[in-house]
Amino acid sequence: MKYEVVIGLEIHAQLKTDTKIFCGCSTRFGAAPNSQTCPVCLGMPGVLPVVNKKAVEYAIKAGLAMNCEIMRDNRFARKNYFYPDLPMGYQITQFERPIARNGHLDITLDDGGKKRIGITRIHMENDAGKSSHDPYRPVSLVDLNRAGTPLIEIVSEPDMRSAEEAGAFMRQIHAIVRYTGVCDGNMEEGSLRCDANVSLRLPGAPEFGTRTEMKNLNSFRNIERAILSEIRRQADILDEGGTIVQETRLWNADLGKSMSMRSKEDAHDYRYFPDPDLLPILIDDAWLDQIRADIPELPEAKKERYIKDLGLPPADAAVLTSSIELARYFETCLSLLDKPKLVANWVMVSLLALINAKGLSIADTPVSAEGLVELLNLVEKGEISGTMAKTVFEAMAESGKSARRIVDEKGLAQVSDSSAIEGIIDEVLAKNPAEVSAYQGGKTKLMGFFVGQVMRASKGKANPAVVNQLLEEKLKS
């Protein structure tokens, strides 16, 4: 393709507060329609909003985690538009003085290099309600439970140049909001959602091309698919000498294509003005320091540390830091057994296979970090073989029993006692005289065959190191 792709994302994250941003109503997902409402979030005349301090704290936390400058004096503004699920006729958001601005995140590219993506601003706002359109009758229903849920909107600079970069940026935002605990990151339920602005231009062109905005992207896969589809659509129009219309488009994941939704408004269409019902928010040093102290090590930094200090391959580090629960599990194991690569392999292969197969989260895995380390210690001490450990892990996952107990109950302990192993070896050698003389005639590759036979005869319980050593001694004579 001859065009350069330009992408900027606008990401809405629902803040994980128990109550709404300007009233005390619950934010719980899935309640009966309109059961979590009050005069404030219903937009009744004469009511007064009161800011939820926790929501402000979370917005600051996200801003700090995304390397933003926090605006110590920020304020709310009214964004006026009419929509059936917006009972006040305006959204309370932030305009000229958002809570955070001028941030950035460094994403890792496929070739391992880094790229810095600018964050223009992060502002707080309330969510609207939800309309659903009855497919059988000409009516639409409005549920205002979501109205007044606190959101932050994270606006990126138009710094991304491909769908993959946009995906990497979104993945990092997802990880950060979850690490900091400001948002549950559940994209299916809409707790974290993304609008993608896409335009094309010829390389070296001084100005950006006209952009479209794609709404309703509720998974990483859909973000990448929708952007690729939009790039193709715009390229076809430009190739034929056409022009791109600035508009908002809606992505349909089932059809794998987008449709025009409305022409794009400009800021002046919204008649923004400072909300006279809400005082400016002033943030002092003490509060800022307290929030800063509460931010854990973030995913990119953790990933770098795993690579540099623990010597893990970048791919392992990326998987292990993809969620804070997984990273915590891994680090708990590591605090008990200082073998990063061994632990990483078990966590990435066995543990992830287990929770993916059962659709579990790390929190409810039947094999705890302590339990896994107990198993690995049995291998380290030579009590069971590595192969046997896989079987024991599966039994732990099924029964929830400890590794020790499973090994004892099923008699799986490795046999290292040389007299017991010698007996088995003698039988194997007696049964295979032709191979024995071939070995002694120089076909030393047959060692593998003998080891295999002995291991099979011992039902996998013989200690392979002892088997090897005894076999070599016996075959010499």
Tell me which residues touch ligand ADP (CB under 6 A). 6-10, 155-158, 197-199, 208, 211, 213
Helices (DSSP H) in 66-162: which residue ranges?
none
In whole angstroms, how far apart are CA 45 and each of 40, 49, 95, 145? 9, 11, 23, 18
Per partner kind, with CB cut-offs from 5 to 8 A, the member of Mg ion, Zn ion, ligand ADP, none near residue 23 is Zn ion
What is the number of the residue whose Cβ is closest to Mg ion? 10
Q: Which is nearer to ligand ADP, 146 or 211 (CB)?
A: 211
Query: Which one, of 187, 189, 152, lies nearest residue 61 by Cα?
Result: 152
Q: Which is nearer to Mg ion, 154 or 326 (CB)?
A: 154
* Residue 103 CB partners (closer than 8 Å, separation 6+): 63, 66, 67, 68, 69, 118, 119, 122
Dig out the tokens for 396 from the structure: 């732990």
Burial call 154-182: b when 16+ CB within 10 Å, e when fewer = bbbbbbbebbebbbbbbbbbbbbbbbbeb
88 is an interface residue for Zn ion by CB under 5 A: no
Q: Which is nearer to Zn ion, 50 or 465 (CB)?
A: 50
Minimum distance, C-beta of residue 98 to ligand ADP, in the bound complex (Å): 11
Which parts of 276-315 interact with Mg ion (CB under 5 A)?
none
What are residue 121's DSSP bridge partners?
A: 101, 155
Minimum distance, C-beta of residue 33 to Zn ion, in the bound complex (Å): 14
Q: Which is nearer to Mg ion, 18 or 81 (CB)?
A: 81
Per partner kind, with CB cut-offs from 5 to 8 A, the member of ligand ADP, Zn ion, Mg ion, none near residue 145 is none
Minimum distance, C-beta of residue 248 to Mg ion, in the bound complex (Å): 8
Per partner kind, with CB cut-offs from 5 to 8 A, the member of Mg ion, Zn ion, ligand ADP, none near residue 157 is ligand ADP
Per partner kind, with CB cut-offs from 5 to 8 A, the member of Mg ion, ligand ADP, Zn ion, none near residue 25 is Zn ion
Which parts of 10-49 interact with Mg ion (CB under 5 A)?
10
CA 145 to chain centre: 27
Minimum distance, C-beta of residue 155 to Mg ion, in the bound complex (Å): 8
Q: Can you tell me the distance from the alpha carbon of 8 to that of 211, in angstroms, rounded to the nearest whole number?
A: 10
Q: Which is nearer to ligand ADP, 177 or 227 (CB)?
A: 227
Q: Can you tell me the distance from the alpha carbon of 90 to that of 472, in angstroms, rounded to the nearest whole number?
A: 84
Which letter does DSSP use for residue 298 in this model?
P
Site string for Zn ion, 10-29 (x = CB under 5 A): -------------x-x----
Cα dihedral across residues 340, 343, 346, 352: positive or negative:
negative
Q: Give the footprint of Mg ion on this chain (CB under 5 A).
A: 10
